[in-house]
Amino acid sequence: MTTPSVSTTNSPGVIPYHFFYWGPLLFRIKLSKEDLKKCAKLCSKESSFVNTTLAGVIQHEHYVNPSKYSKIIELYLESFRDSFKQWYGKPLVKELTMVTAWVNFMKAGEFNPPHVHTQCDFSSVLFIQIPEKLVEEHKKFPGSSGGPGNIAFMYGESQSYSITQKDILPEVGDLFLFPATLTHFVAPFRSQGERISMSANFRLD
Give the predicted TM-score (pTM) of the model: 0.92
Print pLDDT tens along the chain (205 aa).
Answer: 455 667 666 677 776 777 777 889 999 999 999 999 999 999 999 999 998 889 989 999 999 999 999 999 999 999 999 999 989 889 999 999 999 999 999 999 999 999 999 999 999 999 999 999 888 888 887 766 668 889 999 998 888 988 888 888 899 999 999 999 999 999 898 999 999 999 999 999 9
Q: Residue 16 has what pLDDT?
A: 73
Q: Residue 147 has what pLDDT?
A: 83
Q: Residue 136 has what pLDDT?
A: 85
Residue-wise pLDDT for 139-179, tens only, equals 887 766 668 889 999 998 888 988 888 888 899 999 999 99
- Concatenating the DSSP letter of every residue in the chain gives -PPPEEEE--STT---EEEE--S---EEEE--HHHHHHHHTT--TTSPB-GGGS--B-SEEEE--HHHHHHHHHHHHHHHHHHHHHHHSS---S-EEEEEEEEEEE-TT-BEEEE---SSSEEEEEEEE--HHHHHHHTTSTT-TT-TT-EEEE-S---TT---EEEE---TTEEEEEETTSEEEE----SSS-EEEEEEEEEE-
Paired sense of beta strands 174-179 and 122-129, if any: antiparallel
Q: Residue 7 has what pLDDT?
A: 67
What whole-number distance in Å separates Cα of residue 195 and Cα of residue 63? 17
Alpha-carbon dihedral of residues 87, 90, 91, 92, nearest 10 degrees? -80
Q: Residue 144 has what pLDDT?
A: 62
What are the structural domains of the chain? 24-204 (2.60.120.620)
Q: How far is CA 107 from CA 16, 59, 197, in A?
A: 49, 9, 11
Task: Specify whether the CB–CB gap between 95 and 44 falls below 8 A.
Answer: no
